[in-house]
Structure 1
Amino acid sequence: MKPESPLKNRSRSTHAELLIALVGLIFIQSWLSPDNQVHRAFFNGLFFLVVLSAIRALSESTWRMYVTLALGAVAYAISWVNDSVGSFWFSAIGDTCFASVFAVLTFTVGQSVFSRGPVDARRIIGAVSIYFLLGLLWAFFYTLIELIEPGSFRIANADAESQSNSRLLSEFIYFSNVTLTTLGYGDIVPESRPAKTMALLEAMLGQLYIAIVIARMVGMQVAQHQKEPERDRLIESES
């Protein structure tokens, strides 16, 4: 059996690190209070940890790695300042930078997952990572929509006057993943047309993504099994 290359092992480990960082962010942020300054700082730190994991995953593309590092650093710095200032523009710029990081990362991991080759743990981990990345990416879209047009979402038991950017983002991480999986509990409801459109697109994307990934993985696995007998015959003929 041909041993796995160090590059493939490294790619698998970076995808695994990214997945752990994403799951940790989604799980841990649910226990943090957006009204607590220490919790908000830790919340921002979790996002920067994901950015660092993204940089490792993007290390094969130098320009994407540096762009991600620059965007992540700007977003992290703005998030710190915005905790004290509470500016609309700081919130919008920071959220746009983070959204850009996740968009670039989603595209890059997607190239790795859907490229030609055998189905292995690297592809599976990458495919799962993309699903979590889509949820986070749309959370920033929703936050930006609410910042630009307040009242675009009706959030149950929420005081519209005290909705900080951190609180909005925390709420929309939950709403985005609920929408992506088409659960639709109804405690957060899109009301403006842009909000409804983005929610609809995410729900459709969530269903299509699962169907496409399963079809792609099955097709690659079938092709892999079809090549194995031919390879075995070539080995036998050579021996």
Structure 2
Amino acid sequence: MVKAPLNIVMAVTSSGKPFHFLLAALLAQLVVSPFLAGEGAGVLQDLIFLTLLVAASRVARHSRLYPLIVGLTVLCGACVVAKYLYDGEGPSLLSDALGIPVIFLTAVEMTRYLARQRRVDLDTVLGGLCVYLFIGAMWFTLYSLVDRLVPGSFNFTVHIRPVMTREHVDRLLFFFSYITLLTTGYGDIVPLSPVAQTLAVLEGIVGQFYLVFFMARLVGLHVAEKQEAVEPLAPGHRQPGR
């Protein structure tokens, strides 16, 4: 997977509200996707997925990797269109494979941005929430990709129906991703293949580590702000306006 260089600059100061559109796309995927059913469910799922990728590329539009991210997003969109024009799993697999690095690169850059902040504000909180939701979205795409490449990687136990459509399977894997991220673990969906089991373990580790990092960062910044506010001025310095 492509690694982001250390000197990438996020488009935060120039955009004013860099995370609002991205957070809206993530929440739309989280809230709307589980209720999609019927013939148009797949189309709506793909539209939400593409909206998410566009929002991700928008956040990093001043990054040095912006052309790469946009290129991957465009190719992913072309693959989504192609899967409705041609039979076979190829375009669908390719769209998932192209979407994963877009989400990954954007999440890495957002995490670096949050690590550089020196104060707690709404932008910092929204950015942290976006990264956390990004983790679940990326792992859902990974689970879906694994299930397509290695059929039988997941046992859906009580959810098994006579006919399991691709949309129904993806909806369950979406649910499984966020439940694993939260380490809730209801046990109604079980990873069976070694790859699926490894991904589930890694998602739990990454999710818990990120929560510890983000909360520690917020608390540290808040404490630092309070100390600066009550710290007396150094001898010889006069307060502003006096």
- Map Cα deviations across residues 148-195 of structure 1 (whole Å, 9 max, x no partner): 21111112333597543x444332211100100011112211011111
Alignment correspondent of 1:57? 59
For 1:86 and 1:185, the matched residues in 2 are separated by 36
Displacement of 1:117 in angstroms is: 1.2
Alignment correspondent of 1:10? 15
Alignment correspondent of 1:3? none
Q: 2:49 aligns with which of 42, 47, 50?
A: 47
Cα pair distance change 1:170/1:223, threshold 3 Å = same
Displacement of 1:39 in angstroms is: 2.8
For 2:20 and 2:115, the matched residues in 1 are separated by 17
Structure 1 alignment gaps of length 5 or more? 1-6
Alignment correspondent of 1:90? 91
Q: Secondary structure at the match of 1:14?
A: coil
Larger % of helix: which? 1
Displacement of 1:131 in angstroms is: 0.7
The runs of 4+ residues in structure 1 deviating greater than 6 Å are none
**What code does the residue aligned with 2:58 have?**
R
Cα pair distance change 1:227/1:79, threshold 3 Å = same
- Map Cα deviations across residues 24-56 of structure 1 (whole Å, 9 max, x no partner): 1121111212x51x3322221111211222122
Displacement of 1:72 in angstroms is: 1.6
For 1:72 and 1:171, the matched residues in 2 are separated by 25
Alignment correspondent of 2:3? none
- Indicate if the aligned counterparts of 1:41 and 1:80 stay in contact, CA closer than 8 A: no
- Indicate if the aligned counterparts of 1:14 and 1:53 stay in contact, CA closer than 8 A: no
- Indicate if the aligned counterparts of 1:190 and 1:196 stay in contact, CA closer than 8 A: yes
The CA RMSD over aligned residues, in Å, is: 2.5
- Map Cα deviations across residues 77-117 of structure 1 (whole Å, 9 max, x no partner): 21222245342322221101111111011111111111141
Alignment correspondent of 1:197? 198
Alignment correspondent of 1:150? 151
For 2:211 and 2:90, the matched residues in 1 are separated by 36
Alignment correspondent of 2:101? 100
TM-score between the two structures when normalised by the length of structure 1: 0.85
Cα pair distance change 1:231/1:81, threshold 3 Å = farther
Cα pair distance change 1:235/1:221, threshold 3 Å = farther
Displacement of 1:225 in angstroms is: 2.1
**What code does the residue aligned with 2:239 have?**
E
User: Is 1:68 aligned to 2:69, yes or no?
Assistant: yes
For 1:101 and 1:195, the matched residues in 2 are separated by 21
Alignment correspondent of 1:4? none
Alignment correspondent of 1:115? 116
Residue identity (%): 24
User: Is 1:22 aligned to 2:26, yes or no?
Assistant: yes
Give the length in aligned residue pairs: 229
Q: How does 1:146-225 map to 2 (within 5 A)?
A: 146-156=147-157, 157-158=159-160, 162-164=164-166, 166-225=167-226
Q: How does 1:31-46 map to 2 (within 5 A)?
A: 31-33=35-37, 36=39, 38-46=40-48
User: Is 1:236 aligned to 2:231, yes or no?
Assistant: no
Cα pair distance change 1:169/1:76, threshold 3 Å = farther
Q: Secondary structure at the match of 1:10?
A: coil
Cα pair distance change 1:221/1:151, threshold 3 Å = same
Displacement of 1:238 in angstroms is: 8.2
Structure 2 alignment gaps of length 5 or more? 1-11
Alignment correspondent of 2:6? none
Q: Secondary structure at the match of 1:187?
A: coil
For 1:197 and 1:59, the matched residues in 2 are separated by 33
